[in-house]
Amino acid sequence: MTKIITAENIEEAAECIRRGGTVVFPTETVYGLGADAMNDDALRAIYTAKGRPSDNPLIVHIADKGDVYKLSSDVNENAKKLIDKFFPGSLTVIMKKSPIVGGVVTAGLDTVAVRMPSNPIAAELIRRSGCYIAAPSANLSGSPSPTVLRHVVDDMDGRVDYIIDGGNCDIGLESTVVDVSGDVPEILRPGKTTYEELKQILPDIIINDAILKETDTPKSPGTKYTHYSPKADVTVVVGSKENVRKVIQNKISVTPNCGVLTYKGGSYPGVFTTDAGDNMQQYAANLFYSLRLFDENGVEVVFAEFADEGGIGLAVKNRLFKSAGHKVIYADD
């Protein structure tokens, strides 16, 4: 039985973490499915609840910056700079793990991923539990991450002990993951903390090329699995507004039961549409919600308007292209 509570009763959820249970909690990125990172049975319960392969490691969430020194035995200069600048927030840092970190949470790797969320409910849960909280996104493996309570309940009701209702997640996409365990810092997953911002702090940072490719040998184990996929079949259409609309207009005239994810308010009379917003920050906040909305409305084929913009646009592109299985039409070509 899953109990849905609000932050008022957070102590119950903290107690649940302490005794090895599972709690879904809000963060500023997406909802997380948490358990005590030092308790292997509790960690196995996370993998089971998500249906997640056990070779995909989990992020360890902390409420105190100093805790990075307990989880990692090699907090190097690059790590320190990132932590100083971006903790708490939407950045996950991968460092060499310390001996206290076990093999279940890291899926056998010698590195550990650490994040300090800024969401006050998340911070309070970690603090009150007295634990480090391991938490993947709170979706069933393969589905878009949940950003609103309803989508958490759809995936996790009956599979976890507690769900804390924290309203809607501000950012809507998962944290930026940066690996600083090697000589050259590398972005393994783009997010709200952008390449441009990171480059100001670590000028030699690179972007792992699996981010925008269909197949590769990814360094972040999670990126090799199908991700962010709604039931609907998604195609992304990229280019100038005018050309994108022409292409989609043609497609919908010959495609039964389709819908359109518009950007900056495109209009397609007669088909189900939802708008991703007026800029990439809004697109990020709306993307996962919208993908699930198409499924809820029985839409089987989705055309997504997209424009290549920088900043958080890279994270949107990464998630959107993956959700489309890299089916992309370049409307300006």
Instruction: Point out which residues bind ligand TXA (CB under 6 A).
Output: 27, 29-30, 32, 56-59, 92, 94, 106, 109, 111-113, 115, 135-137, 174-175, 177, 188-189, 220-223
Tokens of 224: 């090799």
Interhelix angle for 10-18 vs 120-129, to 10°? Answer: 50
Residue 137 or residue 318: which is nearer to Mg ion going by CB?
137
Distance CA 20, CA 167 (A): 25
User: Which residues contact Mg ion (rule: CB under 5 A)?
Assistant: 137
Residue 29 or residue 262: which is nearer to Mg ion going by CB?
29
45 binds, among Mg ion, ligand TXA, none (CB under 5 to 8 A by kind): none
Tokens of 278: 């007026």
Residue 225 or residue 268: which is nearer to ligand TXA going by CB?
225
Interhelix angle for 149-156 vs 280-296, to 10°? Answer: 50
CB of 221 to ligand TXA, least distance (A): 4
175 binds, among Mg ion, ligand TXA, none (CB under 5 to 8 A by kind): ligand TXA
286 binds, among Mg ion, ligand TXA, none (CB under 5 to 8 A by kind): none
134 binds, among ligand TXA, Mg ion, none (CB under 5 to 8 A by kind): none
Residue 112 or residue 248: which is nearer to ligand TXA going by CB?
112
Name the nearest CA neighbour of 275 among 249, 71, 266, 246: 266
Residue 223 or residue 318: which is nearer to ligand TXA going by CB?
223
CB of 134 to ligand TXA, least distance (A): 9
User: Shortest Cβ contact with ligand TXA: which residue?
Assistant: 222
CB of 16 to Mg ion, least distance (A): 22
Strand pairing report for 186-189 and 176-179: antiparallel
146 binds, among ligand TXA, Mg ion, none (CB under 5 to 8 A by kind): none
